Amino acid sequence: MAGHSQFKNIMHRKGRQDSIRSKMFSKLAREITVAAKAGLPDPSMNAALRLAIQNAKAQSMPKDNIDRAIKKASGADAESYDAIRYEGYGPGGVAVIVEALSDNRNRTASNIRSIFTKAGGALGETGSVSFSFDHVGEIVYKASAGSADAVMEAAIEAGADDVVSDAETHTIICGFESIGEVSKALEATLGEADTVKAIWKPQNTVPVDEEKAQSLMKLIDSLEDDDDVQNVYSNFEVSDEVMAKLSA
């Protein structure tokens, strides 16, 4: 399992839940506003908005917050956000992809570059690391959606490429272009998913020791703490022994 999701869970367990939750709601609201502004404000007529709302609900975002984010898109003073991807290297040569929604490209680029530099990494050109990732769809269900075999069968029928099941979730991977049709087919069989989104999945992972893992943990936490950053992906791998130490 790649380290980013593991570290994210650790950071949540270590505290700052209220701050993290507030920032998460703010970023989810921005995604909803952008999706609503790009199409119709009706989720039944706007697939991107429907997915953004679905993901917000999965994080227990209040309905009032969701409604405000949709209404904000039609306001005369609605901000205009650009979707930007940054690519770079963290400690140990680990590849990092950062997705942002920004209303000021210069500010965001400066902040991201500074975070990489302070962590001992370096921001690269677009395309410098994304070639080592696959842009795919990720559909996540709770374990209660069904047995691993049942979910695997449903995923195959829906046209997905892979399924990883554990005690808590079923993670289904599909082609980027087929996210909509695969998620719709799965919904008919398994019900509404927890999250449906496009991700950058590393083709190979880089093992890191405890020292590098700690540095990467700080880098990713700092990136995710930036208001403009929506998602961070990386290709490092951490042993169970190191993870246990970091979780203590």
Query: How confident is the model at residue 107, as a pLDDT?
Result: 96
CATH code for the domain in which residue 29 is found: 1.10.10.200
Identify whether residues 211 and 166 lie together within a single domain.
no
Identify whether residues 223 and 196 lie together within a single domain.
no
Identify whether residues 185 and 216 lie together within a single domain.
no
Which domain does 160 fall in, by range?
133-202
Identify whether residues 94 and 155 lie together within a single domain.
no
Identify whether residues 187 and 243 lie together within a single domain.
no
Identify whether residues 235 and 182 lie together within a single domain.
no
CATH code for the domain in which residue 196 is found: 3.30.70.980
Identify whether residues 122 and 212 lie together within a single domain.
yes
Q: Within 13 A of 65's CA, how many CA atoms are on the CB side?
A: 19
Identify whether residues 189 and 208 lie together within a single domain.
no
Query: How confident is the model at residue 160, as a pLDDT?
Result: 96
User: Cβ atoms within 10 A of the Cβ of 160, count?
Assistant: 23
Query: How confident is the model at residue 16, as a pLDDT?
Result: 52
Query: How confident is the model at residue 200, as a pLDDT?
Result: 95
Identify whether residues 117 and 22 lie together within a single domain.
no
Identify whether residues 65 and 97 lie together within a single domain.
no
Query: How confident is the model at residue 78, as a pLDDT?
Result: 66
Instruction: Quote the number of domains for the chain.
Output: 3
Identify whether residues 198 and 141 lie together within a single domain.
yes
Query: How confident is the model at residue 186, as a pLDDT?
Result: 95
125 burial type by CB count under 10 A (0-12 exposed, 13-18 middle, 19+ buried): exposed
Identify whether residues 64 and 32 lie together within a single domain.
yes
Tens digit of pLDDT per residue, the chain (248 long)? 344 454 454 444 444 556 677 888 899 999 999 999 888 888 888 888 988 998 888 888 999 999 999 988 887 666 788 899 999 999 888 999 999 999 999 999 999 999 999 999 999 998 999 999 999 999 999 999 999 999 999 999 999 999 999 999 999 999 999 998 999 899 999 998 989 989 999 999 988 888 888 899 889 989 999 999 999 999 998 887 877 777 76
